[in-house]
Structure 1
């Protein structure tokens, strides 16, 4: 279970006030990171809040900073514009939720609690739009490359599709967590995807159609 909140933003009074409130409401320690050099190096579990308005630059290093195979990192986008393209959301590794600019502080607290408990925080409409976006990408690539997935990788994908964490997959399939991460690395590489949502979308369109 995540034991620390990390806010990625440009800093400032608002960031400190927000994290003081969330830390008190959720009984969790927090850090504020302005650059990747600030990010804690401990092997720990974090809920990472990315202030989208602060890092929306295409050249931002944060969008390539996190490994898609480390389930100790759960990423949430904050202050995301309702009409912004979903390309950014679909490209972030370990994305677990999105909060729009119009969402209240109460909604933010509720969503973070759900993510800490192992759920995701996407509205039904957003999930549908993300799946449609990835299906289009999959369709564009079908004619040029046939993906070969092993039976074991199919089992891993089936576990992901019902919301299993890496440790859940390891227990279900009698594997070590390192072996599960190796399977995920191969799966993501073969499918040319960057996060679990995209991998599950591919699985659902090919095995649950």
Structure 2
């Protein structure tokens, strides 16, 4: 594949023989350099100026738990770049809503996809197309169509003033420490509030709370 653009591509995964082999295969297939970065690399640039994220970011699904996603989100916000996000090694049975935390999702590749299919999809993505299954694409469109017309739910209205402040900051990708600094409280206080919020909105973790916020807080409340 030849390209008029010198795109920067970042692969976020563990640094292993398997990921290096995948990186090499990808580089040969799309004829573009791919930068392999780990979470340790991300953590080093949270407060720095180095632009570690490229125009396209390939995200190893199995590499990201809640904490890792939070770190990635901090780097993404700090870099002020709208990198296009591509999820790889995705379980076939994944619920579509689990993919929507990636705000600039343009492609999803599954664990049993052959490298040839991935290269074909990557070439389409480089041509400004999307590579999503029909179901994921339909769910994605419906999700953001609803998100753009979300009205604030009664469940959000029932939160305390402090809990609403924390939910708004959570929705902007802030960490517990950042929320604590913003509200002039301790990190333990933030954790206590989040625990109470999770019970009220029936969320098991931070990502479920983030998805809940997208579906229950109107745009006018998110400022």
TM-score by length of 2: 0.55
> Which residue of 1 is the match for residue 117 of structure 2?
107
> Which residue of 2 is the match for residue 17 of structure 1?
21
| Contact 1:2–1:116, Cα closer than 8 Å, also in 2 | no
Matches of residues 87-102 of structure 1 in structure 2 within 5 Å?
87-102=97-112
TM-superposition CA deviations, 1:72-117 (whole Å, max 9, x none): x221000111222223321212211111112111111111111111
Long gaps (5+) in structure 1: 146-188, 194-209
- Secondary structure in 2 matching 1:141: coil
* Match status 1:123 vs 2:133: yes
Query: How far apart are residue 126 of structure 1 and its match?
Result: 1.2
| Contact 1:2–1:47, Cα closer than 8 Å, also in 2 | no
| Contact 2:89–2:110, Cα closer than 8 Å, also in 1 | yes
* Match status 1:70 vs 2:81: yes
Give the number of the structure whose alpha-carbon radius of gyration is greater: 2
> Which residue of 1 is the match for residue 33 of structure 2?
29
TM-superposition CA deviations, 1:104-143 (whole Å, max 9, x none): 1111111111111111111212111223444555676366
**Whole-angstrom CA distance in 2 between matches of 1:118 and 1:137:** 23
Long gaps (5+) in structure 2: 157-217
- Secondary structure in 2 matching 1:18: helix
Give the paired residue count. Answer: 148
TM-superposition CA deviations, 1:154-195 (whole Å, max 9, x none): xxxxxxxxxxxxxxxxxxxxxxxxxxxxxxxxxxx93789xx
**Whole-angstrom CA distance in 2 between matches of 1:111 and 1:52:** 17
TM-score by length of 1: 0.59
Q: CA, structure 1 residues 38+30, in 2 after alignment: closer, same or farther (shift >3 Å)?
A: farther
Which 4+ stretches in 1 moved above 6 angstroms?
142-145
Q: Aligned-residue CA RMSD in angstroms?
A: 3.3
TM-superposition CA deviations, 1:11-70 (whole Å, max 9, x none): 100000000111112111121111214679349852211101111x11212245324973
> Which residue of 1 is the match for residue 67 of structure 2?
59
Matches of residues 39-54 of structure 1 in structure 2 within 5 Å?
41-42=50-51, 45-54=54-63
* Match status 1:82 vs 2:96: no
- Secondary structure in 1 matching 2:27: helix
